[in-house]
Amino acid sequence: MSHKVLECPLTTKHIKIALVGQPNVGKSMLINSISDARLHVGNFSGVTVEKCEVFFDYSGYNFSITDLPGTYALNNYTIEEGVTSSFLHSAEYDLILNVTDSTSLEKNLTLTSEIMGLGKKVVVALNMSDEAEKEGIEIDEKYLSKLLGVKCVKVSAAKKTGIEELLESIIESFEHAHAKPKMIFSEAVEEELHTIKSYLDAHNYSSMLPNSAVAINLLQEDLCSIEAISTESLYVDLQPILAEAKRHIQTHHDSDDLKEIWAEEYAAFARGVVAETLKLTKTEKLSFTERLDTILIHPLLGIPIFLFFMWALFQLTFEIGSIPMGYIDALFGLIGEAVGGLIAHDELRSLIVDGVIAGVGAVVLFIPNIIILFIGIALLESTGYMSRVAFLLDGIFHKFGLHGQSFIPLVTGFGCSIPAYMSARILKNDRDRLLTLFIIGFMSCGARLPVYVLFTGAFFSQNVAGNVLFAIYIVGAILGLIAAKILKMTAFKGVDEPFVMEMPKYRLPSLKLISHTVINKTWMYLKKAGTFIALASMLVWFLSNYPQQPVLQQEYSIKIEQASSQESIVELKNLLAKESLERSYLGEIGKFIEPIFEPLGLDWRLAVALQTGLAAKEVVVSTLGVLYAVGDSSQSQNSLTDAIRENVPFASAVSFIVIIMIYLPCLAASIVFTREAGGIKYFFYLLLFTSLTAYFLAFIAHRVALLL
């Protein structure tokens, strides 16, 4: 039964929910299955971890759900895990909604056990119940609720079943008094927890958590709980009690590692609960995931299949993306003509038409390509295939000095470098994380795609352009692996760590989730085009039109008046525009830096475009659009692609693309890199590393292209 959000009456009760679960349990899909939800995305205070909040009304209640980062345990091994643990321990909320994967219940209940120990109201959503039934897994959710002492509800976020029952259970738990969850530990642990809780009760200690939860935290050596109670006078007498309790527990478990002891306690409880509530219908058949994995992660066929998928994605990006480009180009041409006809002032008309409309239009032109690329990556991620690719590439990555888990931030870099840099936090080892951060830039982000499409469209036929585009991305990735090997042998020496990663089951992609992701990223791209890139285009227009050259214009005016044919007039106007551009501020800057780029075959216009690309890679296209629109009036009816084909030699285009592929990422990404790497010194290391590498490889590429 589908869930319908109801209008909220005048008097409402507000329910604040913390949404918690392990990775790949479908938390985001569960949120999206609640229709008409109002989504708010921001960051948790003090960190760059994304904070997703959903607001909606149902049955006279106003719900707000905070989607916490996925975590396997409430510890501080990673920033995400620390954020989740800190929020659950100290934030204000009414109830914890714990989402679990019904097909991996025992593994998921270890986190549930920890959550129950917090002493908060808890509702457990047994997600993917439809998949569990297909696999012959039968869960008695009523008996499970009785054993845990918390409400457990079967749901399927994909099929939107059980949603209303889940919401009703949340309301019921919210309205009723809190009942202590039936969390049972081993005899020694229970004995010591009772001793510590009794001591806290006797001394009237109170905090945001119940004393039973405080006792667990103190025995687990939770720093927040220790810090909170250390200021109390009772802590002096409590310390020897805690020390004796830990010794007793360690003796009972024959281990000195408290973290390992508690992990085993939670795992043992989960095993016992699952043994009582789960029945598995035995079957000799392989599951759908197992059958598919025999092909997709085959030792010999796996990587070729992955490369085929990526090749197909780039073919679609170019072939389908090129269809609406002509219409978009014509639309901006019509807009330019219409707006230009309304503006009498020549300079203002040039600013709006040649600067803003031409610059922004040159970037918006590639929106179809961007959308197709984002859809492809989102599909591969949401189906669970990307985890398989990480497994396939682990052996290759280790040969080049990269950790297998580096694949996740690296493939994210094909979309945008900013989330790629942030996702490198999953790497625990500092050397592996820093090495990955330095290599992410070799993975061509979506902002570089317009530059690639522009130049491949200019020099190759439509039948070949898709293959060339695929080759550019693959070459960039290969160069990244080679650079990783060099850095691993020099700057980031260290012992490789083993790679352990969860393999989620294959799932049909959520169209709603994919559309939400693609629309958000496309909208961010459009906002950048309408604000930052528009301003950059105006700046480039100003620098390319000033200072004005009245003497030069007067000279050419006389020559144009004396011209004997229309062809001579057009030629003189082109020469005037070219000389005026070369004498402008932008021309002076370009001429100043041109000697540096001359060995690479780049003229001053291409050199200037590279500099503006340091702000944002999309600005490279808008800069070229402004420069070539101003520089050659004979091409006013031609596209930027034609202008590039006629003005840029093939060898120069090759070296230009190599630099775009490697050199420093955009300003925003560089700021995030600096923050994630841990200091400004790493930014200068990246600047030096990428600049020298890009220049050296562009020089070689130019020479090879000249020979060809």
User: pLDDT of 394-434, one tens digit each?
Assistant: 778 878 888 777 877 887 788 778 777 877 876 767 788 89
Gap between the Cα atoms of 528 and 525, Å rounded: 5
Strand-pair partners of 40: 53
Q: Is the pLDDT of residue 329 over 70?
A: yes
DSSP string, 267-302: HHHHHHHHHHHEEE----SPPHHHHHHHHHT-TTTH
Beta strand residue intervals within 446-516, DSSP E = none
Q: Is the pLDDT of residue 85 over 70?
A: yes
User: With bands split at pLDDT 50, 70 and 90, how would you rate the model's confidence at 97?
Assistant: very high
Say if CB 171 and CB 61 are below 8 A apart. yes
Strand-pair partners of 137: 280
Higher pLDDT, 75 or 163: 163
State how far the alpha carbon of 625 is from the alpha carbons of 32, 319, 354, 540, 650, in Å: 40, 22, 8, 10, 18
The predicted model gives 312-319 an average pLDDT of 82
Give residue 481's pLDDT: 92
Give residue 15's pLDDT: 93
Q: Is the pLDDT of residue 659 over 90?
A: yes
Say if CB 453 and CB 445 are below 8 A apart. no
Q: Which residues, including other chains, have CB under 8 Å from residue 250's CB and lie 6 or more apart?
A: 256, 258, 261
DSSP 8-state code for residue 424: G
Q: Which residues, including other chains, have CB under 8 Å from residue 450's CB and lie 6 or more apart?
A: 362, 363, 365, 366, 369, 370, 617, 618, 620, 621
The predicted model gives 351-363 an average pLDDT of 78
Give residue 285's pLDDT: 65
User: With bands split at pLDDT 50, 70 and 90, how would you rate the model's confidence at 1?
Assistant: very low
State how far the alpha carbon of 344 is from the alpha carbons of 332, 340, 348, 349, 359, in Å: 20, 8, 8, 7, 21
Give residue 630's pLDDT: 40
Choose the weakest-confidence range: 90-99, 134-143, 323-332: 323-332
The predicted model gives 53-59 an average pLDDT of 86
Q: Give backbone dihedrals phi and psi of 545, rounded to 5 degrees, phi first.
A: -110, -10
CATH 3.20.20.450 fits 13-175, yes or no: no
Gap between the Cα atoms of 159 and 597, Å rounded: 57
Gap between the Cα atoms of 159 and 599, Å rounded: 60
Residue of 478, 464, 631 whose CA lies nearest to 541: 631
| Token duo for residue 533 | 């890139």
| Token duo for residue 345 | 């002032």
Gap between the Cα atoms of 584 and 622, Å rounded: 18
User: With bands split at pLDDT 50, 70 and 90, how would you rate the model's confidence at 78?
Assistant: low
Higher pLDDT, 439 or 623: 439
pLDDT, one tens digit per residue, over 460-508 is 887 888 889 889 999 999 999 999 999 988 888 766 555 555 566 777 7
Q: Beta-carbon neighbour count of residue 244 at 10 Å?
A: 12
Gap between the Cα atoms of 545 and 583, Å rounded: 9
Gap between the Cα atoms of 153 and 169, Å rounded: 8
Q: Which residues, including other chains, have CB under 8 Å from residue 316's CB and lie 6 or more apart?
A: 372, 376, 466
| Token duo for residue 597 | 């780029």
User: With bands split at pLDDT 50, 70 and 90, how would you rate the model's confidence at 524?
Assistant: confident
Give residue 613's pLDDT: 84
Give residue 438's pLDDT: 94
Say if CB 319 and CB 469 are below 8 A apart. no
Give residue 354's pLDDT: 76
Residue with tokens 């687990």: 220
Pairing type for strands 122-127 and 151-154 reads parallel
Give residue 637's pLDDT: 33
In degrees, rounded to 5, the angle at the alpha carbon of residue 530 between the alpha carbons of residues 528 and 533 is 60
DSSP three-state, residue 21: strand
DSSP 8-state code for residue 3: -
Say if CB 18 and CB 88 are below 8 A apart. yes
Q: Is the pLDDT of residue 618 over 60?
A: yes
Burial (CB count <10 Å: 0-12, 13-18, 19+), residue 527: exposed
Q: Name the amino acid, one letter, at 122.
A: V
Say if CB 76 and CB 85 are below 8 A apart. yes
Q: Which residues, including other chains, have CB under 8 Å from residue 360's CB and lie 6 or more apart?
A: 332, 529, 530, 533, 534, 537, 622
Burial (CB count <10 Å: 0-12, 13-18, 19+), residue 592: exposed
User: With bands split at pLDDT 50, 70 and 90, how would you rate the model's confidence at 455?
Assistant: very high
Say if CB 111 and CB 81 are below 8 A apart. no
Residue of 690, 640, 641, 699 whose CA lies nearest to 666: 690
What strand order describes the sheet that includes 38-43?
38-43, 50-58, 61-67, 13-21, 95-101, 122-127, 151-154
Choose the weakest-confidence range: 319-333, 567-581, 663-677: 567-581
Give residue 36's pLDDT: 58
Say if CB 560 and CB 567 are below 8 A apart. no
pLDDT, one tens digit per residue, over 543-560 is 877 888 888 888 878 888
Higher pLDDT, 105 or 386: 105
Gap between the Cα atoms of 323 and 76, Å rounded: 49
What whole-number percentage of the chain has pLDDT above 70? 90
Q: Is the pLDDT of residue 9 over 50?
A: no
Choose the weakest-confidence range: 106-115, 584-593, 624-633: 624-633
Q: Which residues, including other chains, have CB under 8 Å from residue 96's CB and lie 6 or more apart?
A: 17, 18, 20, 88, 115, 118, 120, 121, 122, 123
Q: Is the pLDDT of residue 599 over 90?
A: yes
Q: Name the amino acid, one letter, at 694.
A: A
Domain parsing of the chain, residue ranges = 13-175, 187-254
Give residue 181's pLDDT: 76
Q: Which residues, including other chains, have CB under 8 Å from residue 543's CB and lie 6 or more apart?
A: 584, 585, 586, 589
